[in-house]
Every structure is written in C-alpha cells, then in structure tokens.
Amino acid sequence: MIEKATTTIPTVTADQLAKLRQLMPHVFGENGKLDFDKFQACLGNQLDSQPERFNFSWAGKQQAIKLLQIPSRATLVPAIAESVNYDTTHNLFIEGDNLEVLKLLFKSYFEQVKMIYLDPPYNTGNDFVYPDNYQDPLEIYLKLSGQMDSQGNLLTSNSNSSGRFHSAWLSMMYPRLLFARQLLRDDGVIFISIDDNEAANLRLLMNEIFGEENFIATIIWERAYSPVNLKKHFSESHDYIFCYAKNLDNLSCNGLLRDDEATERYKNPDNDARGVWKSTDLSVGPVVANKIYEIITPTGRVVLPPEGRCWIYTKQRFEEMLADNRIWFGETGNNVPSVKKFLSEVKNVVTPMTIWKYSEVGHSQDAAQKLKALFEGKSFFNYPKSVELIKRMLQLYTDEKSIVLDLFAGSCTTAQAVLELNREDGGHRQFICVQLPEPCPLSSEAFKAGYGTVAEVGKERIRRVIKRMTTADPELPQVSPHDTAMDMGFRVFKLVASHFKQWHMSPEITPTAYIDQMALFIDPLIEGWQVEPVIYELALKEGYPLTSKFTIAPHQHHLIYQVSHPDGESKFHVCLDERVDLKLIAELGLGEGDIFICRDQAIDDTMATNIALQCHLKVL
C-alpha cells in the first residue's frame, strides 16, 4: 500500500465531525461537509430552538471556538541535554504555549490522561494571560517566547481596566479546557484552582464544557494561616478548586487513608477485647414506625428516640447488639444509648470532605518556603501550590499507572507531587507538565541566578527533586538512581515551528501563485530541516506518544530510524535520505503491515510499487 505520510494532526472539530459522520453518514453532503438542513430534519424536536434559553456567552467566544479549528503549525523537539534519564523515563516536561501543545498531543494522548490539574492565572489584573492570536496562533508564541521589556516583564498582561477583562480570560481558557477534556480518559477527573476573580465565570464555563452532571465538588483550600491586616474588609484565606469528572458514572474515588487524627478518636473505655472503638448515634431521621420503642438504660432510665427521629435498628436487632456488648450507655450507664463502632471493623479509608485545611495539605507560605529550601534559600517562584495539596488529589483519583497532566505547570509542583507519591506507594504514575517560557523579571532572584524563564525554574526543580531522592537526604527514604522500578527522570520537549512547509493559500490566489505554492511541495520539508526533529514530528503525527523509543541504525549506507510505541505493540521505520535502495527494505525484513516512511523524491514509481508490495509505504 502507498499512502501520503501524515504531516498534520486532526483538530478537535475534524475529529468530532469524523465521529458524527460514523454515527450519521446521511447528514453529510457529497462534498463531505455537514448538511445542516438534513441534520436539523433528522433531529426534529430534539433541537432546542426556543428564542429564550440559558446561554453563557462573552465577547470573543465565537473566535475562541474557531481557534480549535486552526491546525497547529508547530512541533515538539527533544532537549536531551536538559532531560534526566532520557532513554528510560516516561515523564514529560513540555516548554510551550499549552494550546499549541494540546493540539500536538491530541492524537497521541486522546483519552489517555487519568487526572488533569490546572492552576491557570487567576486574572487578578496583574498576572499574565496568554494573548491568543486568531490569525496565526504560532506566531504570537514565537514572538512572546523571546519578548520582554527592559525590565524583563512580558509586554502583555490582561489589565482590569480593559473593556474585555473577563472575556479575554474566558477566551483563553475555553479552547484549552475543550482540548484538555478530549485527553481525559472516560474515568478521568479534572481539578482546577481559582479564586473569586473568575470563580463564578469558571463554574459556568466548566458546566458548559464538562456538563453540570459531571460536577463533583468545590473544594476550599485554606491557603493562608494568618490575616493580612492591611486588607480593608476581609483577608481571603482560601482558594477554590473545582473538581469535575469526564463521566461521573465511570469515575470512582479511592478515598483518603485514615489519618492519625481520625484514628485517635477511637478509644476503649470499657476495655473491650475487640479493641478501640468510637460511639456513633443510635438514632436517625426521618421516623420509621417500627423503629420507635423504649430502651431502658442500665440505671433503669427509660429513653425514647429524639423528636422526629427513630432508632437505627429494629427492636430485635437492638437486642442482638446489646447482647453483643455493642451498645454504650456512657461510663455511668445512664446516658442516651449509642453504637460502638470498632476501628478493626471500619474501612481504612475515609470519604474526603470539601474543606482542605492547611494543617492537612499545607498552606501557600509553607509551599513557598519549601521551594525556597530546594533552591538554597532563594525565592525563584512566587505562590507555588503546596505539594501535599496536589498529592491529595492524586491519592483520591489516580492509580499506580495513571498519566497526570498539568497545563499551567509554573514551578512544577505537580511533577514533585507525582514523584513523591510514587516513591511513597511504589506507583508508576507519569507526569506531563506544560509551561510557557514566561520570562522571569530581570530584578528577580531567579533571573539573577541564571534562570531566565519560569520554564527554566520548573525544569531545575524537577532535577533537584530527583537528585534529592536519589542522593542521601535525612528526611526521605533513599531511592537508588539505578532502581529501575522507580522512574527518576523526565524528557524535555520544546515547541518550535514545524519542519514541514505550510500551505498558505488565500481565497483570491492567482494561477501563478498556485503553481508557486505547488512547487514548494515537491519537497515538503522546510529549508534547513534536521533529521531528528522531523522524526519526532512524524511520530506525533502518526499518533505515537513522546515517550516512544527512538533508535537509529545504519543499513546499506542509509540511516534508518525506528520509532517504537512504549507499549511495544507497534513501530515504524523512517529513512530521510535523498535516495532509497530497494535492498534496504529486504535487509530491514519489513513485511506486510510494517510501516516504512521515506521521501517521495527518494524513490521512483517502480520502486514505490515494489516496496509497497512488501510493506506499508508512506511517502513525504
């Protein structure tokens, strides 16, 4: 079989249309486009056409939706020197604008991610909100990643005096959330941090994208432990964390391991041989008629359930419980009866509550101090989240093999939480952290220490955490750097312009301009292309994850690259040489079903036919 190699990645819209086409081929016209009239006719009264209906909108929403349809013109290239244990690790740090990155990951990571944590800019008026460019999304990234003013500040921030203050933020979040949802597994979950600046808008946005029926909880994180007395009215001491499921029916919660505090509530005042217990209410509401009866305490007092309630047991069951010494009337034998709940009989997990106190998951200042300690007392990043906070999210919803994605990674707290939890419970969770190379201000300690961008700080943090775990640290159980069971590494990738030429065709193009464009495509690779980036780009476009194995071997004077899926189930070969020799195919031992990619100009028609008889040939 001969096929054109894939040099683009489908957009969300293209992917959704393809699925719709599978379900309803009859609503598509001859030109392959959706025929809306037919679609409407088929759905009949299922379409909501009422003039007044609930609708959440803002200035620029339509443009934000259009961003989804613009295919990425970028690719990801590895930065091996900045990575740790590149060849063996499954963790990823990707430097770039998260929307472009999401577009590139879409094919390879579709429905692969178990948990997403997002900590976007809160839109305070002073923070940087990415200014998407609707005409040329990549251009703005390439400019921004090298652009700062003389103070080292980014030239763009969303000031609250701007007439489109909330709209700009919503337009930034909307396409990212839509893409992020596509990467979640059906039993996946997303946590997103926010404060009062955008909490109300974000809730509506999440309802629209994830569905109100998939809302799980709003968690309050007690992020501060003392008031800021300069505040005029209240000193806010909490953040919100919204938690949504991709599909609530398929998501289950691991619960939280019972902590010491919960265990301490169990005592044994009557020296029961079954061990410590705590008393729980014997009454319940509403009333069930056959569960109202008199109970006589050991002191002879007659007790009835409180008004509007009944006992939890029938009289017969109560008698059995009493005989088994499971009813407690207090030290004096005169109290209202309660039920003895034995620690040995309860599950070791508790259902999480929605207020997460700093005493349990740390506070902001504590997180900043710990990060400072990791960087020898220097403050390289303001307001990191607490590692314990993210660890709790991981504990609740991930399993030992989960992929965890953070699209606004900042100083990479999520990466540290994943590494630490894996070490604690022997898990193999993988992280994918995406972070913009947002410049650190020239006056910042980070910049002075040589970390020019937040991405540099994030990568260095991961390296230091790994180093601390693999070298003696009195506070931590040590992990050997050669311990193959633990993934102590990460691959770094960077967003750059694609190495494939892009089709620039305006609707008014003249025949000559058209011929010129066509000429460009005789060789689809850009001038100055390099082999490795092209191989990685092909892998992404073939739907291979960035953790795939890339090997290179000389064969018959050719350089052959083999890309193997990390699960070992599939692989393909690429040769980007000017000419390809037929003997090569024989030597590689490629058979039917094996994919071989080479440049169109490297083989003539007869060779192409011959190769295609032996394997699955794709040409560039």
Ligand X SMILES: C[S@@+](CC[C@H](N)C(=O)[O-])C[C@H]1O[C@@H](n2cnc3c(N)ncnc32)[C@H](O)[C@@H]1O
Q: Which is nearer to ligand X, 119 or 537 (CB)?
A: 119
CB 619 within 8 A of CB 605: no
Separation CA 537–CA 568 (nearest Å): 19
Q: For the CB of residue 136, give the shortest distance to ligand X in the complex, in Å.
A: 15
Separation CA 189–CA 243 (nearest Å): 7
Q: If DSSP states are collapsed to H, E and C, what string results for 151-190?
A: CCCCCCCCCCCCCCHHHHHHHHHHHHHHHHHHHEEEEEEE
Residue 161: alpha-carbon gap to chain centroid:
32
Q: For the CB of residue 542, give the shortest distance to ligand X in the complex, in Å.
A: 25
In this structure, the chain runs to a length of 620
Of all residues in the shown chain, the one whose CB is closest to ligand X is 410
Q: Which is nearer to ligand X, 98 or 547 (CB)?
A: 98
Separation CA 492–CA 79 (nearest Å): 5
Separation CA 595–CA 229 (nearest Å): 66
Q: Which is nearer to ligand X, 381 or 572 (CB)?
A: 381
Q: How far apart are the first and last CA of the chain?
A: 14
Q: For the CB of residue 386, give the shortest distance to ligand X in the complex, in Å.
A: 8
Enter the tokens of residue 206: 């999440």
Q: For the CB of residue 445, give the shortest distance to ligand X in the complex, in Å.
A: 15
Considering only CA atoms, give the Rg of the chain: 30
Q: Which is nearer to ligand X, 104 or 434 (CB)?
A: 434
CB 617 within 8 A of CB 608: yes
Q: Which is nearer to ligand X, 221 or 381 (CB)?
A: 381
Q: For the CB of residue 537, give the shortest distance to ligand X in the complex, in Å.
A: 20
CB 415 within 8 A of CB 139: no
Q: Which is nearer to ligand X, 130 or 572 (CB)?
A: 130
Q: Which is nearer to ligand X, 417 or 603 (CB)?
A: 417
Residues at the site binding ligand X, with contacts judged by CB under 6 A = 97-98, 119, 121, 130, 381, 384-385, 408, 410-411, 413, 434-436, 438, 454
Residues 6+ apart with CB under 8 A from 197: 122, 123, 124, 125
Nearest Cα to Cα of residue 175 among 122, 215, 133:
133
Q: Which is nearer to ligand X, 7 or 435 (CB)?
A: 435
Q: Which is nearer to ligand X, 187 or 388 (CB)?
A: 388
Separation CA 525–CA 537 (nearest Å): 11
Q: For the CB of residue 405, give the shortest distance to ligand X in the complex, in Å.
A: 12
Backbone torsions φ then ψ of 476, nearest 5 degrees: -120, 145
Q: For the CB of residue 392, give the shortest distance to ligand X in the complex, in Å.
A: 14
Q: For the CB of residue 245, give the shortest distance to ligand X in the complex, in Å.
A: 21
Task: Return the ∠ at Cα 383 (arms to 377 and 389), rounded to 5°.
Answer: 100
- Is 237 in a helix, a strand, or coil? coil
Q: For the CB of residue 48, give the shortest distance to ligand X in the complex, in Å.
A: 33
Q: For the CB of residue 148, give the shortest distance to ligand X in the complex, in Å.
A: 13
Separation CA 254–CA 300 (nearest Å): 45
Q: Which is nearer to ligand X, 313 or 408 (CB)?
A: 408
